[in-house]
Chains A and B, each alone.
Chain A
Amino acid sequence: MTVMEQRGAYRPTPPPAWQPRTDPAPLLPDAAPYRVLGTGAAAQADPELLRRLYAELVRGRRYNAQATALTKQGRLAVYPSTTGQEACEVAAALVLQEQDWLFPSYRDTLAAVARGLDPVQALTLLRGDWHTGYDPREHRIAPLSTPLATQLPHAVGLAHAARLKGDDVVALAMVGDGGTSEGDFHEALNFAAVWQAPVVFLVQNNGFAISVPLAKQTAAPSLAHKAVGYGMPGRLVDGNDAVAVHEVLSDAVRHAREGGGPTLVEAITYRIEAHTNADDATRYRGETEVEAWRAHDPIALLEHELTERGLIDEAGIQAARDAAETMAAELRAHMNQDPVLDPMDLFADVYAEPTPQLREQREQLAAELAAEREGTHS
C-alpha cells in the first residue's frame, strides 16, 4: 500500500470525550425569513399585541424623524436613524420582562426608549453632554455601545452571572450586520453557547455597514447561519414585520429563560435614511432600491393588517399619531434648552477616589474657571 493510499484510508478516530453534534439541522435557519403579516398566520396574532406594536411603531417613527430634525438644527451632534427598522427596535424592547437586560448598539436609542427610557436621557450620548445619560442598573439598559459588537460579550457575562446567582434574567444584545464581522461577535457567541448563557443576539441586517453592502461583509448564506457553528439555533425573520420579529424574539427569550441557551436571530430590514447626517447614501445605493423598501414599510404592513381585520379605525390611527406628536413636542422642548454642564464633572468619576494627579488637575481647572468668571483669563 502506498503512502497516498494510506492517507486516503485514514480516518481520524475521535477520542471518547468528543461528542460531535450529529445533526445540525435543528439549528439551521429556514431558507426564507419568517413572516406573519400578509400570511394566514396573521389571523392568529393577538389584537392587543398588534395595537400595542402599532402605537410603538408610530411613536418610534416620529422619534426618528424628530431626532433627525434636531441633528439638522445642531441640537444633536449626530443621530443614526432607525427609520424603516422600527419593528426590530420596538420588538426587542417589548419581549423583555422588567428584570431582563437590553444591550443596545449606538443605533438602538429607539429600543431603549421603547423599553421605557426617557427620550431625552436616551439622547445624551448623541447630544454630547455626557456619554450615558441614565443609570444602566435602574433601567437594565447597558450604555449605548459605539465600538462594534463589544457589548455582546457583556451581555453574555451578565446573563451568565445572573444564572449563577439563580436569577431569572435574560439579556438581549443588538448588533448590526457589519458588527457580525468583528471578533467580539464571534467570541460572544462562542462563550454564550459554551456557557449556555440566557442570551438572545439580535442582528439587524439593514443591508449596509455605512457604505459596505452585505455581499462584501460575509460569504455566509445568511447571518443567521453563523449560529450553527457555535452550536446554537439561528433564526431568520422579516425585520419589517413587527409581529414576526416579536414572535421570533419571544420564542428565543423563552428558550433562554427556560435554560435552553442562546439564539441568534437575524432580522432582515433596511436603513431608509443614511448612516448618519454625516453620510451621503447616494454614493453607494440607488433611489430605486430605497423606494422598494419604502413599499415594505413596517408601519404600513401592520396598519394594513389592523385595518383589514377591523382592529383599528381612523380615530385609532389618529390617536397613535397624536401620542407620537406629544412625545415629539416634549422632546423638542427639552432638547431646545441648552444643557447645564459643570466642567468640574470631568474629574468626578474617573476613579472611585481621584488620584493625586487628578486632584492637581482638578485644582488647575477650578483656578481657570475662577479666572474666567472674574474675566482675568486671556
Chain B
Amino acid sequence: MTTVALKPATMAQALTRALRDAMAADPTVHVMGEDVGTLGGVFRVTDGLAKEFGEDRCTDTPLAEAGILGTAVGMAMYGLRPVVEMQFDAFAYPAFEQLISHVSRMRNRTRGAMPLPITIRVPYGGGIGGVEHHSDSSEAYYMATPGLHVVTPATVADAYGLLRAAIASDDPVVFLEPKRLYWSKDTWNPDEPTPVDPIGRAVVRRPGRSATLITYGPSLPVCLEAADAARAEGWDLEVVDLRSLVPFDDETVCASVRRTGRALVVHESGGYGGPGGEIAARVTERCFHHLEAPVLRVAGFDIPYPPPMLERHHLPGVDRILDAVGRLQWEAEN
C-alpha cells in the first residue's frame, strides 16, 4: 500500500489548479478579466492559463468591470462558461448593474430558457495592508440579490472544490476569495482533491459543547485560534464554517446551536445590515427554545474600511471573540 504524499499548497495554488482542471475538462470554460492573461492576475491565481489554453480562453480584457461582466453575459448566452475576475472587491462595484439587473435574474426573466453559468471571482476582505478600495467585504450586497449563489472558501481544499463546483453550476456564482488567506498553506493532494459537497453545505470545523462560532472565509482561522485559546477558560467552542452564504445551510448551523445552546456570528464586514444580522435572526427563529443567551455578533465596525495602519483595530480578532464568548456565558448565568 502506498501512501499519498501530501504537500503543502497555498489557497492561491489550489484556485489556479481548479481553474486549470475546469478549463481542461470543459472547453466552454473561459477565464477573463483585467491582467488575468500575461501577468497571471495580480494575485497570480490565473498564472499560466493563457499560456496553456491560449488567449482566447484566458483573456486580458479592457479595464472595465461592467464590460467584463456584461460581455460575459453574452458569452454565456451563447453557451460558454465564463469565469470572470474582479481583481479587488471594491473594483466590482461598476459591474453591479450587470450583476443585479441581468446576471442574477436572466434565468428567472426567461422562465428558465436562458440560465447564465457565470462564475464571478471577487478577492475580498482586508488584513493584507491594502490601501483604500482594496479591502471591502461586500458579501451582504451579493447575499441580498436573489438569483446569485454566494460562496467563500476558508481552506485550501475548499478553494479547489468550491471553485470547481461554482464553475460547474448552471447558475451564476459569486465566488468570494478571502485574499488574506491566498498564501495560507495546508497539506493538500491536488491529484486527489477532497470531494466537496454541492454548494450550500456548511461544515463543522471544530466540534465543541459550550457555544457555536458561526463564521466563514477570512474569519475561520481567527475563530479556530479563538477556540483554542478559549480552552484555557474552560470553554469548548464549536466552529461552523458556512462556506456558502447563499444558499444558507440552516440545518448544519441550527443542529450545532441546538447542541451548544449559544451562538456567536463572526465576520469582517460591518455588523449593521451585515450577514450576521440575517444569520442571528435565522438562528433565533429556529432555535429560540434551545438558546441560553441571545445570539451575538462580532463584526467589523460600521465604518468605511479603514486605512491599513488602523485595520487591526477594525478586524475581529481573538480577544474580541473571547470577550463576546464571555458575554454569552454571562447572559446564561444571570
Chain A residues near B102 (CB-CB < 8 A):
145, 147, 150, 154
Partner of B70, one of A162, A187, A194, A352: A187
Pair A137/B74 contact, Cβ less than 8 Å: no
Pair B171/A352 contact, Cβ less than 8 Å: yes
At the interface, is chain A mostly helix, strand, loop or mixed?
helix
Pair A136/B97 contact, Cβ less than 8 Å: no
Pair A136/B74 contact, Cβ less than 8 Å: no
Partner of A137, one of B113, B171, B248: B113
The proximity string for A residues 126-168 relative to B, scoring 1 for CB distances below 8 Å and 0 otherwise, is 0000111001111000110101001011111111111011000
Interface hit among B103-111, B130-138, B208-216: B103-111
User: How far apart are B37's CB and chain A's nearest CB, in angstroms?
Assistant: 13
Pair B77/A187 contact, Cβ less than 8 Å: no
| Inter-chain pairs besides A349-B107, A356-B247, 12 sampled, C-beta below 8 Å | A136-B77, A147-B102, A150-B70, A150-B101, A150-B102, A154-B73, A156-B74, A157-B72, A160-B75, A162-B78, A191-B64, A352-B169
Pair A157/B107 contact, Cβ less than 8 Å: no
User: How far apart are A258's CB and chain B's nearest CB, in angstroms?
Assistant: 20
Chain A residues near B76 (CB-CB < 8 A):
157
Chain A residues near B26 (CB-CB < 8 A):
none
Does B228 reach chain A (CB closer than 8 Å)? no
Whole-angstrom CA separation of A131 from B114 in the bound complex: 13
Total A-B residue contacts, Cβ distance less than 8 Å: 143
Does A350 reach chain B (CB closer than 8 Å)? yes
Chain A residues near B98 (CB-CB < 8 A):
150, 153, 184
* Smallest Cβ-Cβ distance to B282: which chain A residue: A357
Does B115 reach chain A (CB closer than 8 Å)? yes
User: How far apart are A274's CB and chain B's nearest CB, in angstroms?
Assistant: 25
Does A366 reach chain B (CB closer than 8 Å)? no
Pair B66/A161 contact, Cβ less than 8 Å: no
Pair A160/B109 contact, Cβ less than 8 Å: no
Question: In the complex, how many residues of chain B place their beta carbon closer than 8 angstroms to a beta carbon of chain A?
Answer: 48
Question: In the complex, how many residues of chain A place their beta carbon closer than 8 angstroms to a beta carbon of chain B?
Answer: 43
Partner of A351, one of B78, B171, B251: B171
Pair B70/A153 contact, Cβ less than 8 Å: yes
Known A-B contacts A161-B74, A356-B250, A357-B247; A188 and B67 likewise in contact (beta carbons under 8 Å): yes
Whole-angstrom CA separation of A165 from B107 in the bound complex: 23
The proximity string for B residues 25-50 relative to A, scoring 1 for CB distances below 8 Å and 0 otherwise, is 00000000000000000000000000
Pair B71/A154 contact, Cβ less than 8 Å: yes
Whole-angstrom CA separation of A190 from B149 in the bound complex: 30
Pair A161/B108 contact, Cβ less than 8 Å: no
Does A343 reach chain B (CB closer than 8 Å)? no
Pair B107/A187 contact, Cβ less than 8 Å: no
Does B129 reach chain A (CB closer than 8 Å)? no
Partner of B110, one of A135, A169, A357: A135
Whole-angstrom CA separation of A348 from B106 in the bound complex: 13
Known A-B contacts A154-B71, A349-B107; A147 and B97 likewise in contact (beta carbons under 8 Å): yes
Pair A161/B61 contact, Cβ less than 8 Å: no
Chain A residues near B110 (CB-CB < 8 A):
131-132, 135-136, 143, 349
Chain A residues near B74 (CB-CB < 8 A):
153-161, 171
Known A-B contacts A153-B98, A159-B74; A352 and B114 likewise in contact (beta carbons under 8 Å): no
Partner of A352, one of B64, B115, B251: B115
Known A-B contacts A157-B75, A355-B246; A349 and B112 likewise in contact (beta carbons under 8 Å): yes
Chain A residues near B94 (CB-CB < 8 A):
183
Whole-angstrom CA separation of A160 from B74 in the bound complex: 8
Pair A142/B62 contact, Cβ less than 8 Å: no
Pair A158/B78 contact, Cβ less than 8 Å: yes
Does B79 reach chain A (CB closer than 8 Å)? yes
The proximity string for A residues 51-78 relative to B, scoring 1 for CB distances below 8 Å and 0 otherwise, is 0000000000000000000000000000
